[in-house]
Amino acid sequence: MAVQAATVTGRGSSGALRGVVRIVILVAILGFVLYPLLWMLGSSLKSPTEVASNLSVLPTEPTWANYPDGWSYIDGISFGRFFLNSTVIALATVVANAVSCLVAAFAFARLHFRGRKVWFAIMIATLLLPSHVLIIPQYVMFNYFGWVDTPLPLIVPRLLATEAFFVFLMVQFMRGIPRELDHAAKIDGCSPYGVFRYVILPLSRPALVTTAIFSFIWTWNDFFTQLVYLPSPTSYTVPIGLRLFIDSTGQTSLGPMFAMSALSLLPVFLFFLAFQRLLVQGINTSGLKG
């Protein structure tokens, strides 16, 4: 007993030292990870004379002036417009992705029909297809429809379950729902549509929430497609609006630039705070359990 206690404490003290070293390293890495974000926040509160080259996170004389300055930085259009445009596109994408990907995933995960395996393999292949490869022909097509400078090229493809990642995520989720429930519903006379409506839809809520969150964040942060399809300032979204800060490299615009950058990240950050557990799980969903 005494011997055992001694070895345990012996291991404990060297283990404790290692533990302290580990924590110190982790905190140091955390500093590196968080510094750019804190620096952006701090700089958004700095006065023009202070902002240019300043390592420190804390402003000496905090001022909110950068926020109203940045909000109306672009002549004639306020950032409010950009935020509105971004919100409309992001929310429409959330709904479109959730509905279309759920429907497609149900077919892949639960229904037996000819050619299912082939279609599923094609869906997986499209996961790896870079969006940059399709942008030219899609642009030509949407331009022909007269959709350029409207949100349609950003939303309509999403209605057709083109975000294969979410289809896949939901297929994996549905495979975890017991098949006995489907059989029971069928015995009670449910058609495949009934199974979808009364069994799969209510049980797929966690996958729908994950899809909604990731759809929102990715659309909110998206730059490439919005840059291509939204050429005129009134239809700009937040990322495209932020880009306008680059053209003027004068030091006075750095403060407003930081202010609007920080503001643009706020919705994503709030999602992160509210759903961090779901987000981390979302990355881990299946595929890894094998």
Partner 1 sequence: MALTTAHQSAGAEANSATSGRPARKPRESGRLRRQEGRAGYVFLSPWLLGLMAITAFPMLFSLYLSFTNYDVLASWDQVEWVGLDNYQRMFTEDPSYWHAVRVTLTYALIAVPLKLAAALGVALLLNRERRGVGLFRSLFYLPSLLGGSVALALVWRAMFSGDGAFNDLLSLFGIEGAPWVNDPTWALETLMVLAVWQFGAPMVIFLAGLKQVPTDLYEAAAVDGAGKFRQFWNITLPMLSPVIFFNLVLETINGFQGFTSAFVISNGTGGPVYSTLLYTLHIYNEGFTEFRMGYASALSWVFLIAIGLITVVFFSTGRFWVHYSDGEN
By beta-carbon proximity to partner 1, the closer residue of 78 and 172 is 172
Q: How far is the CB of 88 from partner 1 (least distance, A)?
A: 18
Q: What are the CA-CA distances from residue 26 to residues 29, 187, 205 (Å)?
A: 5, 56, 35
Distance CA 160, CA 104 (A): 9
Distance CA 145, CA 142 (A): 5
For 112-127, the three-class secondary structure string (H helix, E strand, C coil) is CCCCHHHHHHHHHHHH
Residue appearing with tokens 């750095």: 254
By beta-carbon proximity to partner 1, the closer residue of 2 and 249 is 249
Give the other-Cβ count within 10 Å of 8's Cβ.
Answer: 10
Q: How far is the CB of 82 from partner 1 (least distance, A)?
A: 11
By beta-carbon proximity to partner 1, the closer residue of 52 and 84 is 52
By beta-carbon proximity to partner 1, the closer residue of 87 and 126 is 126
Please say whether the dihedral angle defined by the alpha carbons of residues 7, 10, 14 and 19, taken in this order, is positive or negative: positive
> What letters, b where the CB count within 10 A reaches 16 and e where it falls short, cover 41-80?
bbbbbbebebbeeeeeeebeeeeeebbebbbebbeeeebe
By beta-carbon proximity to partner 1, the closer residue of 2 and 36 is 36
Q: How far is the CB of 12 from partner 1 (least distance, A)?
A: 13
Tokens matching residue 174? 């549905």
Q: How far is the CB of 26 from partner 1 (least distance, A)?
A: 6
By beta-carbon proximity to partner 1, the closer residue of 76 and 130 is 130
Q: How far is the CB of 269 from partner 1 (least distance, A)?
A: 7
For 93-151, the three-class secondary structure string (H helix, E strand, C coil) is HHHHHHHHHHHHHHHHHHCCCCCHHHHHHHHHHHHCCCHHHHHHHHHHHHHHCCCCCCC
Taking phi over 0 as left and psi of -120 to 50 as alpha, with beta for the rest, 129 belongs to: beta
By beta-carbon proximity to partner 1, the closer residue of 49 and 286 is 286
Q: How far is the CB of 234 from partner 1 (least distance, A)?
A: 19
Q: How far is the CB of 2 from partner 1 (least distance, A)?
A: 24
